[in-house]
Structure 1
Amino acid sequence: MDAVEWNELEEFLFARAMEHDSPQLFRLAGQYLISSRMIRPGVILVLRRVATARARARDETWTRVAHLLTERRRAELDLLLVPDAYLGRARLAWPGIGPTSQRAEALFRYPLGAVRSQAVSARFGSEVRTQVCFLVPVG
């Protein structure tokens, strides 16, 4: 492969990495090489290009959103990683997990109760959160 073909592959991988960073990027590189009728290089060379595209996409993403991250917003995002005693896990993890039973209280507690308490807490202050957490299971 010549330099032009490598650049085309790198731009293709960068565009896909900007769309979504998934383990399928290597497979997409192989499909791109086949569809372009390019001679496929060694696996290590393609893996390096995939890693470079991911790093470049991560840097580009940071460049695009860096101005949005105020100190307050950074603190809020850091709180997503702190385990919540009410939920039993970090707030970043709970949206992907559903209710543990079909009872109404479980449905309200997970994750709707946390959403309601967080929204009210953000709007009215943390002192109201305790009352909302008490009222949410009631409906």
Structure 2
Amino acid sequence: PIVAGAAACLWSTVPNATAQEVIKALEISASHYYQHNPRIGYGIPNIDFARQYLSAVVDGELPEIVVYPNPFPDYITLFLPDGESLPIHLELRDLYQRTVATATLESKRYKALWAPGETIAAGTYFLYIERGGRMQVLRVTKLL
């Protein structure tokens, strides 16, 4: 019942979407999308990411990469709304623009996971994301 209510709310934000598009958006945003099984299913859907994906499908415009959780403990998940498996170059910089960590990741269709390590001090950083020739900068906060 909870997911049905969430699906109704999601559909109301993008009324031009079809039922199958709403279902697909909920599946893609779910916590176990890549490891779904009969016992767990697709897991817990992330309604905000589902809304962004659904808007992109219906409106034909791709939203930017979303990073969560923020603030982050020791890992960052990147939600890639276009679903393309492109390499992602990440650079974490401090407030003085000094590079703290870098990585190049291969994305699984809609998500990528990065664990920069526990050696990074708690604080505010800028995450530079380069993917497919597009650059995006996000402010992120590292927890203790």
Normalising to structure 2: TM-score of the pair?
0.21
Report the structure, 1 or 2, having the larger helix content: 1
Larger Rg: 1
Between Structure 1 and Structure 2, the one with more strand by share is: 2
